[in-house]
Copies of this chain bind each other. A is one copy, B any other.
Amino acid sequence: MFDYKLLAALAAVVEQNGFERAAQLLGLSQSAVSQRIKLLEARVGQPVLVRAVPPRPTEVGRRLLNHVQQVRLLERDVQGQVPGLAEGGGAERLRISINADSLATWWADAVASFCAEHRLLLEHVVEDQDVGLKRMRVGEVAACVCATERPVAGARSVALGAMRYRAVASPAFIARHFPEGAGATELARAPAIVFGPDDSLQHRYLAGLGVEGSFNYHLCPSSEGFLRLTSSGLGWGMVPELQVRELLDDGRVRELVPGRPVDVPMYWHHWHNGGPLLGELTRQLCRVAERVLVPRTD
């Protein structure tokens, strides 16, 4: 088996943002912590930490950290049944890759009470779908929320439902660019807002309306910034209905073409061997998703 004294030292340095605090937490001297990290690096044959302020894990360091987190989760499930084993009993950490729009909308309400009840700390990594799954494959995250159904080896995926997107813009933007309605010619000319190079929602929406070829767009890799730029009249964009409902209701933004949503399916991926806690979290997510997401259409 791995030497968990060494791995715990790595986790402490990263989670405590430095050697000094890690030493405090572990009840060791700083040089003892430092020696454990060096020994770990000698064993894996490469650096596990970038010595910056604060120290950061290297790629292999992140894999080891995620492994530590998974082992702690499993230990925790055992502790529930064999309380005598527990020592200290701090909160556990779970690293999750998630798409920005889920994190900006339904996610918080789905996990808040669960985390409080189970003393679970979350580390969110915001990634588009393919990158998120890649992180899962190499063991950098223990779970992933994304739009891809197919699980990576060793994991399973659960369908949560779909996020519904609406193409919206400010009333002033619509009046300026689409005075006679948003036809294909006008849509190809008016500036859009695109989240990033992997965001094809605007392209899909335009293609559905017969607009092929290029169009002008701003780039904004922030869910909240995206919505603000849209409602300020900088461009039109596809925004989650969950995020824009209030602005639609009170008229601060309007749909370009009413009744043309785009639905994006959402899946929860998690390791098979994640133990009962991940299983419970999965059930909790399914319950909430059934309420807040729309049923899949496929």
Binding site for B on A (CB under 8 A): 16-17, 21, 24-25, 54, 56, 90-91, 100, 103-105, 107-109, 111-113, 115-116, 121-126, 173, 176, 191, 197, 213-214, 216-225, 228-229, 231-234, 243
A107–B218 CB distance below 8 A = no
A54–B108 CB distance below 8 A = no
B224–A116 CB distance below 8 A = no
A219–B124 CB distance below 8 A = yes
The quantity of this chain's copies bound in the complex is 2
> Which residues of B sit under 8 angstroms from A116, Cβ to Cβ?
173, 176, 233-234
Q: Nearest chain B CB to A23's CB is how many angstroms away?
A: 11
Q: Complex formed: what's the CA distance from A214 to B24 in Å?
A: 9
A91–B216 CB distance below 8 A = yes
A123–B219 CB distance below 8 A = yes
Q: Complex formed: what's the CA distance from A105 to B228 in Å?
A: 8
B124–A221 CB distance below 8 A = yes
A218–B123 CB distance below 8 A = yes
For A229, the closest partner residue in chain B by CB is B108
B233–A103 CB distance below 8 A = no
For A191, the closest partner residue in chain B by CB is B121
Inter-chain pairs besides A25-B214, A122-B219, 7 sampled, C-beta below 8 Å:
A17-B197, A104-B222, A104-B224, A108-B229, A122-B218, A124-B219, A222-B223
> Which residues of B sit under 8 angstroms from A125, Cβ to Cβ?
221
Partner of A225, one of B25, B104, B115, B216: B104
A216–B90 CB distance below 8 A = yes
B107–A233 CB distance below 8 A = no
Partner of A233, one of B113, B176, B214, B234: B113
> Which residues of B sit under 8 angstroms from A16, Cβ to Cβ?
214
> Which residues of B sit under 8 angstroms from A197, Cβ to Cβ?
17, 54, 56
> Which residues of B sit under 8 angstroms from A243, Cβ to Cβ?
224
A-B contact pairs, 29 of them (CB 8 A): A21-B213, A24-B214, A56-B197, A91-B191, A103-B222, A103-B224, A104-B228, A107-B225, A108-B225, A108-B228, A108-B234, A109-B228, A111-B234, A115-B218, A115-B234, A116-B176, A122-B219, A123-B218, A123-B219, A124-B218, A124-B219, A124-B222, A124-B225, A126-B221, A126-B225, A222-B224, A223-B224, A224-B224, A224-B243
B90–A121 CB distance below 8 A = no
Specify which of A24, A176, A221 lies most central, judged by the most chain B CB atoms within 10 Å of its CB: A221
